[in-house]
Structures are given as structure tokens and as C-alpha cells.
Amino acid sequence: MVRPHHGLLPQHGRYDYSGITGRPVYDWPHGKRLAVYIGLNLEHFAFGEGLGAELAPSHQPDVLNYSWRDYGNRVGAWRLLELLQTLRFPASVLLNASLYDYAPDLVAGFRTRGDEIVGHGRSNSERQGTLAEAAEQALIADATERIRAAEGRQPGGWLGPWISESAVTPDLLAEAGYRYLLDWAMDDQPIFLRVRNGGRILAVPYPQELNDIPAIAVRKAGGAEFADMIVDTFDEMLDQSIDAPLVMGIALHAYLVGHPHRLRHLRRALAHIAAARERIWVTTAGAIADHCYALPAAIVPGSAP
């Protein structure tokens, strides 16, 4: 896309400014105003090379950090699956496609529940935003085809590994058949992004505040503090949603909140939300996208021709 300039500042050209209090009001299904979804990241990492979150600085081969991350797939994700099942919470599973080969039983556990599978690249040891367009297109195609082959359908949504985008990522995703993406964290409502050739793709809110990596790994919040963030966000957004529909995403990584001392506090926070189930729409990112696509034109920002 051609990026316009506002004054002296280059712009992305994907969406126009729109203040949240001046927009059309609509409802989620059954007249609900607050949609809550869990984005559960199931991630796989290369051993001895590539990117990866760090518990502590180390050297390659990085046994310390590799095994810490792999705890999420071997233990943490299974504990989270049990928790979600107990509370009857669906999940949008943000899946590195290489997990089909590494831990197929884990993916099957979420498939059996009927959880949504969202594209999340091949692994979390690479970023797509650093690639040339053809290589990025191939990465998207590889991950998409692996999910389609295993699930029998193409994923509707995408979250880039490391939230990494090139200048053409939304265009490539739309051209590959994706209906929504989760990389853009600028709003509490879904909005449509422009893509090349006159198309569009929906940006569903995905949190960078209510996200265990920035909160725990970067800001060093404890499990109790992160759980309090979830409860406080929910209570405040439930009040705000009286006036307009909102989306509350909760971004989780099994190698962080799947550890026992954090899991206990996460259980408390999610139980608090579950207790208000009758007042909210507990859903998936894909269902939110489907609802927005079904609304009349000009309701969702960016949807008007």
C-alpha cells in the first residue's frame, strides 16, 4: 500500500482515526456488550538457534531457556486445558504449526474440545517481518497448509510470531484467505484494515497489556498481580460496555502461566469472569470476527466502502 503522510509523519494507511465514544453502537449475540476471549499461545522453539523468550541470559545450546519454554508444552498447556475445561471457557489457540509434528497429542487435546485454531507461524524461532515478500508469503502458506491438513479447514485468523509484520503482511494474509488478524493492539473494538487491491481484513483486539509476556517476563509482575490485572480489566470493561460493545482478550503463554504458582492465581481470575457468564459473551476471536462481518456496512469502523 502507499503510505500517506499526515503533516510530516509517515502513516501506515491501514485505518483512519476514530474515537471510540463516537462510533455506532451494536450488540454481541444475545444482547451482550462485552466479549471475552482467551488467546492461548502454544509455541515451539528451535534448539540451539533462533529466537525465544529468556528466563535468564544463556549461551547456545541454550538448555536453560529451551527447557523452560518446553515446560509449557509438556506440563503447562495440559494444566491450562484442564482449567479451561473446568470453567467451560473456549480458547483461540494461537498455534505454531510445527507443534503438529512435535506434540500432536497436545494439539489434539484442544481440537477435541472444539477450540479455534489460529495461525501463528511455523515456530516462534523466526519473525516474518524481516523476510522478503516472497519468503513471507511462503511462511504464511506453509503454516496455513499445515493447519488445513490437520484440521480440515483453513484458519480464519492469524497472529504473527513476535507480533512481527512487514509493510505487506495484512495484504498477504488477506490474499491467503485470512479474515482477521490479531497483530494490531490499538483498540477495544474490532476495526477493518485496508489491504491492497481494495480489500480489507478485520483487526480483532489482542492485548499487549493483559498479556503475560509483557506483564510477567518484561515488567516482572507476579502471578497474583497479573491475576489482579485480569480482574480489574474485566470489572472496568464490564462497566464501560454498558455504552458500547467491547472486546476483552486475555493473552496467555503456557510456559509462563502454566507454572503452578501462577496457575493458582489465574484460576482465581478466570473464575471471577466465569461467575459473570450470564452478563458477557465468552467466545473466541474467530466468532467475534464472524459477528463483525455479518453486521451492516458502516457499523464497524473501516467497513464502509
Written in H, E and C, the secondary structure of the chain is: CCCCEECCEECCCCCCCCCHHHCCCCCCHHHCCEEEEEEEEECCCCCCCCCCCCCCCCCCCCHHHHHHHHHHHHHHHHHHHHHHHHHCCCCEEEECCCHHHHCHHHHHHHHHHCCEEEECCCCCCCCCCCCCHHHHHHHHHHHHHHHHHHHCCCCCEECCHHHCCCCCHHHHHHHCCCCEECCCCCCCCCEEEEEHHHEEEEECCCCCCCEHHHHHHHCCCCHHHHHHHHHHHHHHHHHHCCCCCEEEEEEEEHHHHCCHHHHHHHHHHHHHHHCCHHHCEEECHHHHHHHHHHCCCCCCCCCCC
Question: What are 79's three cell numbers?
Answer: 494444566
| Residue 82 confidence (pLDDT) | 98
Measuring CA to CA, how many Å separate 265 from each of 60, 93, 123, 224, 234? Answer: 33, 21, 28, 5, 15
Residue 15 falls inside a structural domain: no
Q: Phi first, then psi: give them for residue 24, nearest 5 degrees.
A: -60, 145
| Residue 305 confidence (pLDDT) | 72
CB-based burial of residue 22 (10 Å sphere; 0-12 exposed, 13-18 middle, 19+ buried)?
A: exposed
| Residue 1 confidence (pLDDT) | 56
pLDDT tens-digit series, residues 170-190: 999 999 999 999 999 999 999
- Cα angle value 211/113/101 (rounded, 5°): 75
| Residue 6 confidence (pLDDT) | 58
Residue 185 falls inside a structural domain: yes
Residue 13 falls inside a structural domain: no
Residues of the domain holding 248:
34-294
Q: What is the mean pLDDT of the chain?
A: 95
Give percent of the chain above pLDDT 70.
Answer: 98
Residue 28 falls inside a structural domain: no
- Stretches where the chain sits below pLDDT 50 are 2
Residue 12 falls inside a structural domain: no
pLDDT tens-digit series, residues 241-276: 999 999 999 999 999 999 999 999 999 999 999 999
Q: How many CB atoms lie within 10 A of CB 243?
A: 11
pTM, two decimals, is 0.95
CATH number of the structural domain spanning residue 197: 3.20.20.370
Residue 18 falls inside a structural domain: no
Q: Count of domains in the chain?
A: 1
